[in-house]
Structures are given as C-alpha cells and as structure tokens.
Amino acid sequence: MNLAESRRAADERGFFWALTCVLLGFGVLMVHSASITSWPTNFERVYLTKHLTFLATAVVAASIAATLPARFWYRAAPWIFCGTILLLIAVLIPGIGTSVKGARRWLRFGGWSLQPSELAKLAMPLLIARMVVNRRETLATWFRGTIPFGIPVALAVGLVLTEPDLGTSLFVAGSAALSLYYGGWPIRNYLIGVTLAVPAVVYAIIAHSYRMRRITDFVSVWTDIGNSDAWQLKQSLLTLGHGGLWGVGLGRGSQKLSFLPESNTDFVFAVVGEELGLAGTVGLAALWCGIFWAGSRLFARLHRNCFAYIAGMTLISQMVIQATLNAAVVTALVPTTGVPHPLVSYGGTSLFVSILSFGVMVSLSRADESTDDIVLRP
C-alpha cells in the first residue's frame, strides 16, 4: 500500500470511529432518559453510572483490540470460541450460573455479571471465517463443505438454546450463515442447514408455552389489538405513536414511566420514537446506514476470499441486522425476541461485545498494511 492509500485508509477508519462515537453518545442520552421513573429517585442515575462504567471499560478494550495486528484474530479465533463454549457450559451448572426468571444466562462476580451468549456473537464469525479460509478447497462439496461447519454451530446454538434463549441462539446461527455467505458458501449447501433447522426451531417454539404466547400475541396485535393481551407490544406502539413527527422532547416521554416494560433495554427504540419522533427514529436508521457504508469501505480493498474480509463484513452486517431486528420487534413487525439495540440499549455484556466488535473490525481493516499475509490469503 502506498502513502496516499494509507492516508485514505486512515481517514476512512477515522470516519468510521466518528460515526460510532456519535451513536455511543446518543445511546448514553437515551439510556439516561429511558431510565427515568415515575417516582423522584436516583434510579436513573444508578443506571447511567453503570452504563458509563460498562462503556468506559468497553472503549478501552476496543481501543486495544483496534491496535492489534489482524493476524491476531485469525490465530486466536479457535481459542476465543473454546473459551466461549466453556463459559456457556459453566453458566448451566447450578451454583456457578445465575438463574433469573427461570433462565440461566449469567455468571455473577460480585457486582458484575457476564452473559456468555453475547460473546458467541463475536466468537462465531471469527471461527467460521477462519474455517472457510482453511477449507476453501472443500467448501463447495456437500459433506466436507457442510458437516465441519455444522459442528461448532450446533454446539454453540445448542448451549444457548438450553439456557433457554431462542432469540440469541437463532442470531448466533444467523451469524454463522453470514460468514459462510461472505465466504462464498454455495447456496445449495444452505438447503441442508435449513432442512435441519426448521423442524428444530418449530419444536423449540411449540415445546414452550411462553414462546407460543409470543407468537399469538404478535398475531393478536395485528388482528385485534383492542382485545390483545400483548401488553408490551401495545405499549410499544402507543409509545411510538405518541411521538408523532418531531416527538415530545428529550426526557419528556411519559410511556417510560412504568407503562413500557424494558424501556431502557430491549424497547429503548420506542422511547426514541416518543421523545424524538419519526425524525429521531429515521435519523437513527440513517446513522446505522452510514456506519454500514463506512464499515464496508474499510474492507473494500481486501480480497473477497480472505479471513479479514469475511470476518469484518460479518461483524458489521450482524451489527446492523441486530439493530434492524430490534426496531422490527419494537414496531411489531416480528415477534418479541429479546434482542437489544446495539450501542443504544442499556449496557452490560451486550454493550461490551458490541463495542469490542468495532475495535476488531478496525484491526481487521488494517490487514492489507501488514507484512504477514496470513489473513489475506484466499
């Protein structure tokens, strides 16, 4: 890479970071606003303090990750995945994992908690991208091009599903599918995965009454909203409708005052709609489009079959897809899944992994500046 190209790449990374910082700042404002309750307490300050703590820790980790050579992630991918699997197993062990409302998804360390399933959103793309590069010659075959990829996916998805967490397990599976897509996996090979996945997903839904209730609630919102029992979705739509075109003003929303459940986490997008109106939600969508465009530009100069391109494009794509999915849930376009809005929802492990992923993307985008071509080879 010559000097001019190097400067242009640095400018593109700077623009990418700038858009990310804008979204992070917007998220801090919305977390603080959405945490306000109907009683005058320091509740919102507690949430804001914790969010800022998570944010500061994540920014430091992402900054370090961005400075690492791209080949680090290629070599570390199997170890990151194995570490994630061990944590997913640990969270299911009584006495180690913490159970909340019947779900065993967290590891507690004093006042801190860790949700291993969120780590799988980073570990899975890195591992699959590495496997695609190493198995390029057999990628187009039915057996050798399918089974080896299915083993780690089934392992991670199965453990997350056991917690239980159907939404995250489907997202992790989709992350693997994205990596394979960017890696050039033949479309016909998807037929095997879909054939196996559809019956499993259907069974996972009908085997638990609360999951079936989410489906029926989603249908009832669109068929008979007046008699629907879907309180959360109804309140979400009311919250969005109350905002109108320009919103009621930042911090002045009323639906978050104990009417809208999970207003500062999974349904923070509805608070954006109420307080900033349609203009705010469209502006947030435009910001995500800008981040996707800027992120895609970071990898435009890389070979389409190399590890850095496959992993980087998967990470930026799944981030935008998660934001879109969250907005779709809030607007009742899909059933409730429990997926937070990246960088905007109240943070924890999800916020940390999302910001860390941005640092990894920047690191991967610098692969063409490295003298080691391990992450560049097709």
Q: Are 102 and 109 in contact (CB under 8 A)?
A: no
Element (H, E) at 11: helix 3-34
Give residue 78's domain range. Answer: 3-375
β-bridge mates for residue 100, sequence order? 103
Closest C-alpha to 347, from 56, 22, 40 = 56
Q: Are 122 and 61 in contact (CB under 8 A)?
A: no
pTM, 2 dp? 0.92
What's the structural domain count of the chain?
1
**What gap in Å lies between CA 320 and CA 255, rounded to an integer?**
26
Task: Give one DSSP letter per residue of 302-338, joined into a string.
Answer: S-TTSHHHHHHHHHHHHHHHHHHHHHHHHTTSS----
- Per-residue pLDDT in tens (0 to 9) along the chain, 378 residues: 566 667 787 878 989 999 999 999 999 888 888 777 645 555 556 677 888 888 999 999 999 999 999 999 999 999 999 999 999 999 988 888 777 766 778 788 776 788 899 999 999 999 999 999 998 888 878 778 788 898 999 999 999 998 888 889 999 999 999 999 999 888 888 877 788 788 888 888 887 777 888 888 888 888 877 777 777 888 888 889 888 899 888 888 877 777 777 777 888 899 999 999 999 999 999 999 999 999 999 998 888 889 999 999 999 999 999 999 999 999 989 888 878 999 998 878 899 999 999 999 999 998 865 544 555 555
Computed on alpha carbons and rounded to an integer, the radius of gyration of the chain in Å comes to: 21
Burial class (CB in 10 A: 0-12, 13-18, 19+), 56: exposed
